[in-house]
Amino acid sequence: MKIALFNDFQLGVVVEDRLYDIGPLVAEGRPFHSCPMVDLIHRYEQVRELLENHLREMPSYSLAEVRLRQPVSRPGKIVAAPVNYLAHKKEMKVENTARGLGFFLKANTSLIGPGDSIVLPASKQGRRFDHELELAVIIGKTAKNVKAKDAFDYIFGYTGLNDVTLRPDEHHEEERCLRKSFDTFTPMGPWIVTQEDIADPQQLDMRLTVNTETRQQVNGKDMICGIAELVEIFSHVMTLEPGDIIATGTPEGVSPIKNGDIVKISIDQIGSFENPVVLEREGRGA
């Protein structure tokens, strides 16, 4: 199932070019969480059949009519893998990967959805900002000390993510968490495709274009630590909770984005979304 948040962060299911408003089907009882998607993930096993049987009776819209939002509006956390593709490891001239480095966290307030602007902060003008194409994994069940062989039991689904980054240079070496946590620095979308609908999530073709130029293109099979291994590594440190997001790392081809660019991410079996890049206007926000 393709599950989206749309308009005022309402829950919808996408079938071809239509979005069905599933709010009336799943709104029973007290919510578990303030994010409607996290709430749905908690209830998914109970409501899945209901959704499948009654979807077509729900009010629906053409996809062109709705505003898609980031499919998790307020996750507990965004856990991100550092260098996780061999060619990108070479490009970044680093020795270690997720096995040695672990992970970093991005602020959950950095999330934006399809069509929203990536705002380059005024305070960092003149610095380099990069796009990072990544597959995002959405956790489905509380996960602690999970073995790689069991990892897929804890995954709800997959979506696309851009891990936008302020690059360090010879004069600046901010912590990675700062460089990646500016507001708008985590575009995500266009929706979550649930685990059961993706035969092999480790073998998805992914592409990122800036304007019309392809900058990153990869298949997930080239990850150094695969999806299951990342769940193992991360869940041995921290409890992963329903709705938490794992950004699985970026392949080679990271390159600068600037004011006026349009960044597009496309992932096979998931979908695509775009974000314009704008400069923050000093003192006023975007």
**What is the binding site for Mn ion (CB under 5 A)?**
132, 163, 250
Contacts of 101 (CB under 8 A, 6+ apart): 82, 83
CB of 168 to Mn ion, least distance (A): 14
What number of CA atoms fall less than 13 Å from residue 101's CA on the CB side?
A: 19
If the CB atoms of residues 33 and 127 are measured against Mn ion, the closer one turns out to be: 127
If the CB atoms of residues 250 and 275 are measured against Mn ion, the closer one turns out to be: 250
Give the CA dihedral 229, 138, 236, 175, nearest 10 degrees.
100
CB of 161 to Mn ion, least distance (A): 9
φ, ψ of residue 5 to 5 degrees: the values are -110, 135
Cα distances from 206 to residues 60, 195, 203, 276, in angstroms, run 29, 17, 9, 19
If the CB atoms of residues 16 and 95 are measured against Mn ion, the closer one turns out to be: 95
- What is the DSSP code (8-state) at residue 116? P
Spatial distance between the Cα atoms of 214 and 265, rounded to a whole number of angstroms? 10
Does an H or E element contain 218, and which?
strand 213-219
If the CB atoms of residues 132 and 261 are measured against Mn ion, the closer one turns out to be: 132
Spatial distance between the Cα atoms of 170 and 147, rounded to a whole number of angstroms? 40
CB of 266 to Mn ion, least distance (A): 18
CB of 127 to Mn ion, least distance (A): 17
If the CB atoms of residues 25 and 78 are measured against Mn ion, the closer one turns out to be: 78
Scanning the structure block, which residue is given the tokens 């081809």?
A: 253
If the CB atoms of residues 7 and 217 are measured against Mn ion, the closer one turns out to be: 217
Spatial distance between the Cα atoms of 90 and 236, rounded to a whole number of angstroms? 28
CB of 135 to Mn ion, least distance (A): 11
Tell me which residue has its CB nearest to Mn ion: 163
CB of 81 to Mn ion, least distance (A): 7
